[in-house]
């Protein structure tokens, strides 16, 4: 560890820039470090959690980009001078209660848990897909009791979730970091040179649980933290006033180590590898977003061989760490050097296009102005691209590059190609649109091209004289044909109440949102089910107890209040990332799930129920991609966008496209469907499973 001797790494870094939140707030922290367990054999005791807590406390008091007064930092740790309490179950509960009573809307809370984790049979097996509860172990734990069906004084995942929900219900934003693990398969790390390695996982037998009690349980969804009703829900949800970002040291089938750190340096002491690496990144990059921090932690793990585990990061990762300020989405990917340039695991699905220039970054958390050089995309497929070095802004890429470089998209706009046919000339609305074309073209950029009426196109603009809106520009499908009853769900933009600039902005916003949905459907059709051996079944019914498989042929018909669930099983020996998206009849794109399925894992997730707001032809899109070791979980939530106002009047047209997309597109729950709280190297290429369905009124 940095040993909290500021003469080491932290002291050598430039002072952190103080970030002033837009709204006055207080910052609080609760740090829990459990090292010694009197009821356990001493071979299971840990040394690092106390040092983790010292490190975190010192950083918050001296280096944090936002102020943490010493009185606002509660420290529950054994063997830490100045601790405010012991890391017992009652101590943790009391500290949470006191903290919850203090916080006000807009406050920020940092939570840190270092110590042992394990699994035990769930008190309510129906609430866990694998029948197991995940436990964080305070120092006063006892053994498993068959009479009460629990480990005495263990902190169960469900309770942690409720404790955090209490803070969020008060309006506080929470960042929770867990440096523990729950796997029950490994008990002790092997020595590494002169470093003793311990894993922060306690085998069930150490708590008096027999293999018979654990063996019948079949592991379901790989990571219960990503379940529909997880112990820690990520992101803003209805009923939760504050946001939540969660960092986990390892997935639930992995263990996380502690080692003597910093490696090879004098004065090293036992330290949680995840905690040490995380705060090293924070000290180096005080203005980075949570997403950048997570990617830089993964990059350090991979390039420095710190650990074999894959930390997990969830929540609104585009926010600037600690400040709570929204940040721009930083789209970047770890690149593989080739003889001619670079390969990267991103493509047209991620908004990349041939000819795009990307910055080459030595660190995932550096500012873009620190780019080592630039590359240009030579080929772009749906999920993969190749790039070659190019001189840009006076920089030429050096021959020697650090390990683990990242390729970063310059700018956060999502550009999707679309061809649009202009309306037949003559009618007044068409003439008005003609006068707005300069603004329209400037807003949509080169990715949306306009062709004359009658030419091949993805969409057609038209004036329909005998419609209910004869002054409007209608947006029709490529055929140009539309039944009168279908015009109810057909986008249109009025012309009589707008200036040329207002009309151009409104049409640009309409076409750009439709472009996202159309291109997502195109990609789904082009990629197909691929060669991944992952079975996917969709279930639907009026409630969880009456679910039936959704027909795979024809077009399933769903009525309002029908629930939709997904079951996916990974039959391969490599992990697979899964994303579930839904394209509504109102051109909304909702992102309902992202998570990683390890080999043999089964995902069972309730997604949503149909509303009666907008009914029509809709699509479920399930994107599956092979996952590389120590890579971020593929998260396509940036594709989400709000429903399109089908009838565009004067209101809401005074914004540029970029502002409109920023408000509409990044990770919001967008469709008027309701989310369900359900309890339930070379290899194969990615796959997209697409199902078209029809939502209709009940009785039709």
Q: What is the DSSP secondary-structure string of 47-113?
A: SHHHHHHHHHHHHHHHT-SS---GGGEEEEETT-TT-SB--SHHHHHHHHHHHHHH--TT-EEEEEE
Pairwise pLDDT comparison (353 vs 1), residue with the higher score: 353
pLDDT computed for residue 193 by the predictor: 42
pLDDT computed for residue 173 by the predictor: 93
pLDDT computed for residue 209 by the predictor: 64
Using CA atoms, how far apart are residues 297 and 277, in angstroms rounded to an integer? 6
Mean local confidence (pLDDT), 69-94 = 93
Q: What is the percent of the chain where pLDDT is above 90?
A: 36
- CATH class of the structural domain 9-16+26-315: alpha beta
pLDDT computed for residue 72 by the predictor: 97
- Tell me phi and psi for residue 695, to 5 degrees: -100, 130
pLDDT-based confidence at 415, cuts 50/70/90? Answer: low
Q: What are 397-408's pLDDT values in tens digits?
A: 999 999 999 999
Residue 43 DSSP one-character state? G
| 541 Cβ contact partners less than 8 Å away, ≥ 6 residues apart | 547, 548, 562, 563
CATH number of 418-521: 3.40.50
Using CA atoms, how far apart are residues 224 and 231, in angstroms rounded to an integer? 7
Residue 393 DSSP one-character state? T
pLDDT over threshold 60, residue 161: yes
Using CA atoms, how far apart are residues 593 and 585, in angstroms rounded to an integer? 20
Q: How many CB atoms lie within 10 A of CB 657?
A: 20
Mean local confidence (pLDDT), 65-88 = 93
Pairwise pLDDT comparison (430 vs 128), residue with the higher score: 430
- Tell me phi and psi for residue 685, to 5 degrees: -85, 175
- The 3-state secondary structure of 113-149 reads EECCEEEEECCCHHHCCCCEEEEECCCCCCCEECCCC
pLDDT computed for residue 669 by the predictor: 37
Question: Domain boundaries in the chain?
Answer: 9-16+26-315, 332-409, 418-521, 528-695
pLDDT computed for residue 694 by the predictor: 73
DSSP for 457-504, please give it: -SEEEE--TTSS-TTEEEEEETT----GGGGGGS-EEE-TT--HHHHH
Using CA atoms, how far apart are residues 110 and 242, in angstroms rounded to an integer? 13
Q: Which among 604, 624, 639 is positioned nearest to 529, based on CA atoms?
A: 624
pLDDT over threshold 60, residue 386: yes
Q: What are 311-358's pLDDT values in tens digits?
A: 888 888 889 999 877 777 888 999 999 999 999 999 988 888 889 999
pLDDT computed for residue 201 by the predictor: 61
In contact, 281 and 297? CB cutoff 8 Å: yes
Give the HSE-up count for residue 510: Cα atoms under 13 Å, Cβ half-sphere.
27
Using CA atoms, how far apart are residues 108 and 171, in angstroms rounded to an integer? 9
Residue 436 DSSP one-character state? T
pLDDT computed for residue 123 by the predictor: 56
Pairing of strands 144-145, 150-151: antiparallel
pLDDT computed for residue 116 by the predictor: 83
pLDDT-based confidence at 472, cuts 50/70/90? Answer: very high
Using CA atoms, how far apart are residues 20 and 323, in angstroms rounded to an integer? 7
Q: What is the percent of the chain where pLDDT is above 70?
A: 76
pLDDT computed for residue 673 by the predictor: 53
Tokens at residue 687, please?
């796959």
Pairwise pLDDT comparison (546 vs 665), residue with the higher score: 546
In contact, 233 and 162? CB cutoff 8 Å: no
Listed ranges 458-472, 512-526, 544-558; the one with the highest mean pLDDT: 458-472
Tokens at residue 186, please?
């490994």
Tokens at residue 661, please?
């997309």
Mean pLDDT lowest for which of 18-22, 205-209, 370-374, 387-391? 18-22
Please give the C-alpha separations between residue 281 and each of 257, 303, 370, in angstroms, as whole numbers: 18, 14, 16
Residues of 121-133 as b/e, b for ≥16 C-beta within 10 angstroms? bbeeeebbbbbbb
- The 3-state secondary structure of 145-203 reads ECCCCEECCCEEHHHHHHHHHHHHHCCCEEEEEEECCCCCCCCCCCCECCECCEECECC
Using CA atoms, how far apart are residues 448 and 464, in angstroms rounded to an integer? 23
| 317 Cβ contact partners less than 8 Å away, ≥ 6 residues apart | 245, 289, 290, 291, 294, 635
Task: Tell me whether the CATH fold assigned to 9-16+26-315 matches the one assigned to 332-409.
Answer: no
pLDDT computed for residue 382 by the predictor: 86
Tokens at residue 52, please?
């983790």
Q: Which among 534, 536, 622, 630 is positioned nearest to 573, based on CA atoms?
A: 534
Largest CA distance in the chain: 88
Among the four given CATH numbers 3.30.1480, 1.10.3470, 1.10.20, 2.40.10, the one describing domain 332-409: 2.40.10
Using CA atoms, how far apart are residues 286 and 284, in angstroms rounded to an integer? 6
| 641 Cβ contact partners less than 8 Å away, ≥ 6 residues apart | 513, 516, 517, 587, 588, 589, 661, 664, 665, 668, 670
Listed ranges 116-120, 475-479, 600-604, 615-619; the one with the highest mean pLDDT: 475-479
pLDDT over threshold 50, residue 263: yes
Q: What are 31-71's pLDDT values in tens digits?
A: 999 999 888 888 888 888 999 999 999 999 999 999 999 99
Using CA atoms, how far apart are residues 234 and 314, in angstroms rounded to an integer? 6
Using CA atoms, how far apart are residues 390 and 384, in angstroms rounded to an integer? 19
């Amino acid at each position: 560890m940095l040993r909290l001797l500021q003469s080491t790494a932290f002291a050598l870094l430039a002072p952190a820039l103080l970030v002033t939140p837009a709204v006055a707030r207080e910052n609080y922290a609760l740090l829990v470090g459990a090292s010694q367990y009197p009821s356990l054999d001493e071979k299971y005791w840990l040394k690092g959690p106390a040092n983790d807590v010292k490190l975190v406390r010192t950083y918050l008091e001296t280096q944090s980009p936002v102020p943490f007064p010493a009185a606002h930092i509660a420290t529950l740790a054994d063997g830490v001078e100045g601790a405010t309490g012991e890391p017992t179950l009652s101590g943790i509960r009391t500290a949470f209660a006191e903290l919850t009573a203090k916080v006000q809307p807009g406050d920020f809370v940092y939570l840190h848990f270092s110590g042992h984790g394990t699994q035990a049979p769930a008190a309510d097996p129906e609430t866990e897909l694998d029948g197991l509860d995940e436990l964080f172990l305070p120092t006063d734990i006892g053994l498993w009791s068959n009479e009460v069906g629990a480990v005495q004084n263990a902190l169960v995942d469900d309770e942690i979730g409720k404790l955090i929900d209490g803070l969020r219900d008060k309006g506080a934003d929470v960042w929770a970091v867990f440096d523990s693990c729950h796997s029950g398969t490994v008990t002790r790390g092997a020595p590494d040179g002169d470093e003793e390695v311990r894993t922060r996982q306690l085998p069930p037998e150490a708590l008096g649980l027999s293999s018979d009690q654990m063996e019948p349980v079949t592991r379901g969804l790989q990571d219960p933290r990503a379940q529909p009703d997880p112990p820690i829900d990520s992101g803003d949800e209805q009923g939760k006033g504050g946001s939540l970002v969660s960092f986990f040291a390892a997935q639930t089938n992995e263990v996380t180590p502690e080692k003597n750190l910093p490696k090879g340096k004098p004065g090293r002491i036992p330290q949680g590898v995840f905690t040490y690496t995380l705060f090293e990144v924070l000290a180096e990059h005080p203005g980075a977003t949570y997403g950048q921090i997570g990617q830089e932690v993964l990059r350090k793990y991979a390039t420095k061989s710190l650990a074999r585990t894959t930390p997990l990061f969830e929540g609104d990762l585009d926010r600037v760490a600690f400040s709570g300020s929204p940040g721009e989405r930083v789209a970047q990917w770890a690149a593989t050097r080739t003889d001619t340039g670079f390969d990267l695991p991103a493509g047209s699905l991620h908004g990349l296009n041939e000819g795009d220039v990307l910055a080459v970054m030595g660190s995932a958390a550096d500012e873009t102005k620190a780019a080592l050089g630039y590359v240009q995309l030579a080929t772009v497929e749906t999920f993969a691209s190749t790039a070659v070095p190019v001189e840009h802004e006076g920089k030429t890429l050096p021959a020697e590059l650090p390990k683990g470089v990242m390729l970063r998209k310059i700018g956060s706009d999502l550009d999707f190609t679309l061809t649009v046919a202009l309306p037949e000339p003559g009618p007044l609305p068409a003439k008005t649109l003609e006068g707005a074309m300069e603004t329209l073209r400037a807003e949509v950029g080169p990715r949306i091209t306009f062709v004359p009426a009658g030419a091949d196109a993805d969409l057609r603009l038209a004036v329909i004289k005998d419609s209910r809106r004869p002054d409007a520009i209608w947006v029709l499908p490529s055929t140009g044909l539309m039944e009168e009853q279908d015009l109810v769900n057909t986008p249109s933009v009025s012309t009589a109440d707008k200036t040329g600039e207002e009309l151009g902005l409104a049409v640009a916003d309409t076409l750009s949102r439709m472009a996202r949905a159309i291109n997502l459907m195109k990609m789904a059709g082009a990629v197909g089910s691929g060669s991944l051996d992952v079975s996917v079944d969709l279930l639907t019914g009026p409630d969880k107890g009456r679910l039936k498989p959704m027909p795979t042929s024809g077009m399933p018909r769903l009525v309002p209040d029908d629930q939709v669930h997904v079951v996916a099983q990974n039959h391969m020996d490599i992990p697979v990332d899964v994303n579930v998206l839904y394209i509504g009849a109102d051109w909304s794109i909702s992102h309902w799930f992202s998570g990683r399925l390890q080999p043999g894992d089964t995902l069972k997730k309730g997604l949503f129920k149909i509303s009666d707001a907008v009914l029509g032809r809709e699509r479920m899109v399930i994107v599956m991609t092979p996952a590389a070791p120590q890579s971020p979980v593929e998260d396509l939530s940036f594709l989400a966008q709000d429903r399109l106002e089908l009838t565009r009047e004067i209101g809401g047209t005074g914004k540029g496209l970029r502002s409109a997309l920023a408000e509409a597109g990044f990770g919001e729950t967008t469709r008027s469907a309701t989310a369900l709280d359900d309890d339930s190297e070379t290899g194969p290429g990615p796959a997209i499973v697409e199902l078209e369905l029809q939502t209709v009124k009940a009785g039709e």
